[in-house]
Structure 1
Amino acid sequence: MHYKELNQTLGNVDIYLLDQILKGRFENKNRILDAGCGEGRNLTYFNNNGHDIYGIDTDPMAIKMLQMMFKVIPKDHFLAGNLEALPWKDQFFDAIICSAVLHFAKDKASFKKMMLELTRVLRPRGVLFIRMASTIGLPFPKDPNFSFLISKEDIYEVEKEMGLVNVESIKSVIVEDKRSMLVWVLEKS
């Protein structure tokens, strides 16, 4: 398959999300939210494979682009808003993608509020895919480009408080000794 055909099938999907797709993590997970979706780069694969896709982002222009890209999807599936107050009912989604978003939380309290909302709208046994900046593996404590960097201690605390189970070893990648990006895949118990 030519890379252009592959790109039409997958979109410009996050490589770590693709890893989870290839492992079957989203099998039988029909209703999917991309929390912090931007223009929807991580939704193309799911749309092309019959999933019921939703997105939320703080940028109204990104949402308009998303609505134009996925014309046959109801417009109310893509909303401008923030992760601290999600408009969907409890246990609405089978899976949630939150890629490169949560490190923009103002502080730990804001991060936890976002996590509580994501957990609230996720069904039991639902998958929560998170990619975000962290302190793991860094010799220095803070990347000035991000407001909140998660630590190992924060991870354990959130899992315990919110009834989330880590379903795969956390992967952390150091980017040019400047930042650490982790992949955290959870299931709601």
Structure 2
Amino acid sequence: MQLDLPSQTDIYLLDQIMRGRLRANMRLLDAGCGQGRNSAIFIQKNIEIYGIDKSEQAIASLRRKCREWNPQYPPERFTVADLSALPFPDNHFDFVVCSAVLHFAENRNQFVQWFEEMVRTLRPGGIFWFRMTTKHTIEPYCRHIQDDVFALPDGTTRYLLDRAVLRDLMAENGLTFLDPFKTVNVNDIRTMATVVLRKNGG
């Protein structure tokens, strides 16, 4: 798939594009799409992508931008919704993108609910790509609040991904690693994980 690459697109998502894992005939979901940072590239190339965000302002802004990026693209594909109840059927998407959203879960139960709801909409053989904060290398610098929620050195509060919790969720939901678990420590302020999973079957 040949694409002009907007500068705002997450570089780790671009990696998936450059490796041929996102194709023109796929149906995509951008879960927590905001104002379209990672949706723009697909809108411009008329690739079928849907987006949800809990912010009405963000969705209104994205719909306006959608008309600028591609006047023929249906802006109603982007809608206000919550990760806990996605307005899509089971096994609907080929690829689910969730960039820097899951770490806003308030507790482990909410994290699991969001995670499993996205997996529900993914078809067997589909790919679940997400980035979020993780405990890896950063936990000693954080203050524990509850569950896997911590106060980070930068003053923010985040849900931090735990490898054991992830392994359990993968086993329970029929997921396997498509890429190795990758982390980047940002100056001992936070650590971001990039996770690429495939839903078994298909």
TM-score (norm 2): 0.85
RMSD: 1.7
Q: 2:25 & 2:107 partners in 1: Cα distance?
A: 31
Q: Gapped runs of 5+ residues in structure 2?
A: 143-149
Identify the residue that residue 159 of structure 1 maps to in structure 2: 170
- Displacement of 1:46: 1.8
Whether the aligned pair in 2 keeps the contact of 1:11 and 1:45 (CA below 8 Å) is no
Identify the residue that residue 89 of structure 2 maps to in structure 1: 89
The secondary structure found in structure 2 opposite 1:125 is strand
User: 1:113–1:29: structure 2 CA closer, same or farther, 3 Å change rule?
Assistant: farther
Identify the residue that residue 32 of structure 1 maps to in structure 2: 28
Q: 2:86 & 2:60 partners in 1: Cα distance?
A: 18
Q: Gapped runs of 5+ residues in structure 1?
A: 1-5
> Does 1:150 find its partner at 2:161?
yes
The secondary structure found in structure 1 opposite 2:34 is coil
Whether the aligned pair in 2 keeps the contact of 1:83 and 1:118 (CA below 8 Å) is yes
Whether the aligned pair in 2 keeps the contact of 1:116 and 1:162 (CA below 8 Å) is yes
Whether the aligned pair in 1 keeps the contact of 2:46 and 2:73 (CA below 8 Å) is no
User: 1:32–1:10: structure 2 CA closer, same or farther, 3 Å change rule?
Assistant: same
Q: 1:57 aligns with which of 53, 59, 67?
A: 53
Q: 1:162 & 1:146 partners in 2: Cα distance?
A: 27
User: 1:48–1:73: structure 2 CA closer, same or farther, 3 Å change rule?
Assistant: closer
Identify the residue that residue 145 of structure 2 maps to in structure 1: none
Percent of aligned pairs with the same residue? 38
Identify the residue that residue 73 of structure 1 maps to in structure 2: 73
Q: 1:58 & 1:29 partners in 2: Cα distance?
A: 27
Identify the residue that residue 126 of structure 2 maps to in structure 1: 126
Q: 1:9 & 1:178 partners in 2: Cα distance?
A: 29
Identify the residue that residue 114 of structure 2 maps to in structure 1: 114
- Displacement of 1:28: 5.6
TM-score (norm 1): 0.90
Whether the aligned pair in 1 keeps the contact of 2:178 and 2:197 (CA below 8 Å) is yes
Counterparts of 1:3-18 in structure 2, within 5 Å, are: 9-18=5-14
Q: 1:115 & 1:29 partners in 2: Cα distance?
A: 25
